[in-house]
Amino acid sequence: RDPVARPASGTQQGTRLIMKILVTGNAGFIGSHVAKKLLERGDSVVGFDDVNDYYDTELKEARLKLLEETAQRTGSGYHFIRADLVDSQAVEDCFANHEFDRVIHLAAQAGVRYSLINPHSYVQSNIVGFTNIIEACRHAWVPHLTYASTSSVYGANTTMPFSEHHGVDHPLQLYAATKRANELMAHSYSHLYQLPTTGLRFFTVYGPWGRPDMALFKFTKNILEDRPIPVFNQGNHTRDFTFVDDIVEGVIRASDDIAQPDPAWSSAEPDPASSNAPYRIFNIGNNNPVKLNAYIEAIEEAVGKKALKELLPLQPGDVPDTYADSTALEQAVGYKPATPVKEGVAKFVAWYREFYGV
Ligand code: NAD
């Protein structure tokens, strides 16, 4: 692979460069937001998702419908492939039928606690599926692969805030282990084939269209239904809750920005957060950790009702605290999270009430 011979990105249409972008996991929470934003700015999007039943498929179908409507409204190109990433033929066909300027890989088996119950689905989607995607990117000479990693790779690290230079090789559960494996696999592809890859370590993403297995959704639902909410660790742990619109902005900026291969890049001692290596890793968080109890107060305020709390110990595999240092991503692409937790929570609650008519 000769980075200089990499095909030029995008197609010029008038004054704008239109890109064809594969978004995997576009029926999911973050993927649907990213795909919608790309359609709105005029890019052509191919979505790939198996719409599995890890959680309510009706919610996933509603997100897909919104993408269809957005494509119609904007006139942007949109094609959806309903298939499993583990099916290597389906992935190969997808890359044979489309020439991608960017790949944004967000499909995965997500969730920390479920990885204790169903480890195999993590190995399938996150390891086998990731291999299929990165292999296809390599063979198709995709100019840039951006993929989702997670703050969970920091494990029980207590040096705050988390920096890309901290050790990440002691994951506390299989979910984090598979995501860390993705980062290592990306390193090997960047080294072997100079494939530009950017891993983004997301810090607890929340917002409208959010996941039913995550705290904000469950808490809002239970408070509205006068049912108790499970509060782990007495609500004393902190999370760097990051609003989905900020994440989308960061993902798209990171994907647009191809790291120019640095002649001095050394795979023996890579600086993952350097902005010009073919292999990059960035934190993408809110840089402002909030205690779970404060998060619950924001939900109570937005819903207009007090929560009934069921206090429970910290769950196995849960990390006590997360806190992102996103300086490297800010320096590389100007990422700046802008949404305070109170405002973001209120937006979620407003969406929830409207969507479920409650
Ligand atoms: P999500 O579960 O809503 O979206 C993932 C989508 O991928 C789903 O629509 C699912 O159907 C699809 N998918 C899963 N396995 C697949 C397979 N084998 N083939 C095809 N499609 C498949 O999750 P999300 O919250 O939108 O997360 C997006 C990405 O960000 C994931 O990689 C996740 O691990 C990562 N992440 C999310 C958070 C967060 O707080 N939401 C935090 C850290 C990392």
pLDDT tens-place string over residues 143-193: 999 999 999 999 988 899 999 999 899 999 999 999 999 999 999 999 899
Atom in ligand 1 nearest the alpha carbon of residue 49: 21
Measured by CA distance, the residue closest to atom 15 of ligand 1 is 108
pLDDT tens-place string over residues 121-143: 999 999 999 999 999 999 999 99
Instruction: Give 3-203+243-285+323-338's CATH code, choosing from 3.40.800.10, 3.40.50.720, 3.30.420.40, 3.40.50.960.
Output: 3.40.50.720
pLDDT tens-place string over residues 277-306: 789 999 999 999 999 999 999 999 999 999
Domain segments of the chain as ranges: 3-203+243-285+323-338
> To which residue do tokens 């305070």 refer?
340
Strand, helix or coil for residue 22 = strand
Atom in ligand 1 nearest the alpha carbon of residue 211: 3
Q: Which residues line ligand 1 (CB under 6 A)?
A: 25, 27-31, 49-52, 60, 84-86, 106-110, 125, 129, 148, 150, 202, 204-205, 211
Distances (CA, A) of 74 to 34, 35, 358: 15, 13, 30
pLDDT tens-place string over residues 265-276: 777 777 888 777
In sequence order, what DSSP letters do the residues of 271-308 get, joined into one string?
A: -TT-TTSSEEEEEES-S--EEHHHHHHHHHHHHTSPPP
> To which residue do tokens 């937001």 refer?
33
pLDDT of residue 12: 79
